[in-house]
Each structure stands twice: as structure tokens, then as C-alpha cells.
Amino acid sequence: MAISAQHAFSTPHLHEVADDRSIIWFDIDNTLYPASVKINELMGERIHAYFVAMGLEDDEARKMHMRYYSEYGLALRGLVRHHKIDALDFDRKVDGSLPLDRVLKPDPAVRRLLEDIDRSKTRVWALTNAYTNHAQRVLKILKLDDLIERVVYCDYTKPDFACKPEPEFYHDAMAQARVNDPSKCFFVDDNLKNVQAARRLGWGSSVYFQEDPQRSELVASGAQHPVELKNVEGVDATITSLHSLRKVWPQFFKAPMRDQL
């Protein structure tokens, strides 16, 4: 059954009972779509323009952007903390102005991957550092919004919102999912620090996704078996194709890779 956007992006009500199934957490940006479409670059250009519009010279804006990103996980958090900007105005001018409809397109193979997850064994949620508006836009364009049950996002309406890789953000995600046992959480993200943070908190499996577009296409088509890279320190597995999750987490898939393995 399709899940409405309102339900998919809402916070669980207190009367909801705990769910004993495991839960798979997908990062959204550069995970559910390839980094090679260069959304990050488009976003970086807009963030830089926002700093410059504050009256900073190019070099100063670049340095401050990088410093805030390194110190706070998101440049926006540094801007809110030190410059008291309107986070929702920032979101409109940065994420909200991205030409997602032109750059992104649905990938049937990624949709099949999510469809093949056995929902009797696990829930499928998303965990993103974006605001809800961006998350909804991306999932709708990718035609995955009906397969992601809920999204835990950065709440820009709160003055001191948390984000990955801060432990508080993961704890809040578990609280929203009503998960008490961190070993029931399975996580995949393209940011190494985010994956390592989840693993330190005892999440059941934390997978680092390093995109290799050529290999991903071959794996999705069945021309090549999924192959994991040598493990990176502080993570449970490293993959170059999202489709390798079938091999990393075989217990959650209904069947082998549709006769591709």
C-alpha cells in the first residue's frame, strides 16, 4: 500500500505500539541516487552564494563554509549559531532552489531493491541531514516515496537542531521509530563519519557506500556479482553498489537478486 507523504514524514504518535522488527535506515542524498549527478556541487554553489550575500569575500566565504561544515556537520548550523540566520530562508535559497526535476530521474533497479525487502522482517526508513521539504522532493522524483515508510530529518524549525553524525540525532531517530535495541538498526550512508557514528552506538550493521557508477550499473543489470571492498575501519561493510546490500543483508530480502546471483 502506498504511504501518504503526511504519514511518511510525520512523527509517530505516543499511542503507537513498539514494533519488534528490525529497521533499515537509508541515507537519501548521494545514496538513493548517484553522487555522479553532482547535486552536491550544485548545493555547494548555492551555499557559497548565501555566504557571499552576507557580505563576505569569496575566500572568506569559502573558508567559513568549510569551517562550519567541519565543526557542526552542516554549514547551516554554524550560520544559525553565529549569525542568527533564518534556517528556513536558507533552505528555500539552497535546497529549495536545486533543479532536482531536471537532474534526478527514477532508477528502476533501486526501486526493485526496495521492493524486494521483506517488510515482514524489517521496516524501511530514511535518515537524512536535509529538511523535510528536500527529502520529500527527492523521494517523489525518484518514485521511492511509497517505499520509504518514514523519514527522520533535520528539523530546521528548532534553533539548535541535531544532525548526523551527532549521537543525539541517532538517539532521536530510534525514539521516533520506538526502537530500544540499537542492534535492530541497519544503516547505509555515503558519509564515512555518519556510518562510524552509528557503529559506535551499537547499531546492528553500519554500511559505508562508496559509489562506483560503472560497477553499480553492472550489478543492477546482473552482468556482475556484487563485490564489497576491503572493509574500512569503523564500519561493518563497504560497498560500491547499493545493490550489494542484497549480499550484505541477505536476511532482509525476499529472494536472491532475481536470478542475478
147 and 111 Cβ atoms separated by less than 8 Å:
yes
Q: Facing residues of 185 across strands? A: 23
The predicted-structure confidence for 214-257, as pLDDT tens digits, reads as follows: 555 555 555 555 555 557 999 999 999 999 999 999 999 996 65
Q: What is the model's pLDDT at position 18?
A: 74
The mean pLDDT value of the chain amounts to 89
Handedness of CA 218, 219, 221, 222 (dihedral sign): positive
Q: What is the model's pLDDT at position 213?
A: 59
Q: Facing residues of 152 across strands? A: 127
The predicted-structure confidence for 136-159, as pLDDT tens digits, reads as follows: 999 999 999 999 999 999 999 998
Q: What is the model's pLDDT at position 186?
A: 98
The SS3 of residue 62 is helix
With residues binned 3-state (H G I as helix, E B as strand, rest as coil), the percentages for the chain, rounded to 5, are 45, 10, 45
The predicted-structure confidence for 32-86, as pLDDT tens digits, reads as follows: 999 999 999 999 999 999 999 999 999 999 999 999 999 999 999 999 999 999 9
Q: Where are the beta strands (DSSP E) in the chain?
A: 22-26, 122-127, 150-152, 185-189, 205-209, 237-239
250 and 261 Cβ atoms separated by less than 8 Å:
no
Separation CA 46–CA 97 (nearest Å): 8
Sheet holding 122-127, edge to edge: 150-152, 122-127, 22-26, 185-189, 205-209, 237-239
- Cβ neighbors of 178 (< 8 A, separation 6 or more) are 12, 16, 17, 18, 19
Separation CA 22–CA 119 (nearest Å): 10
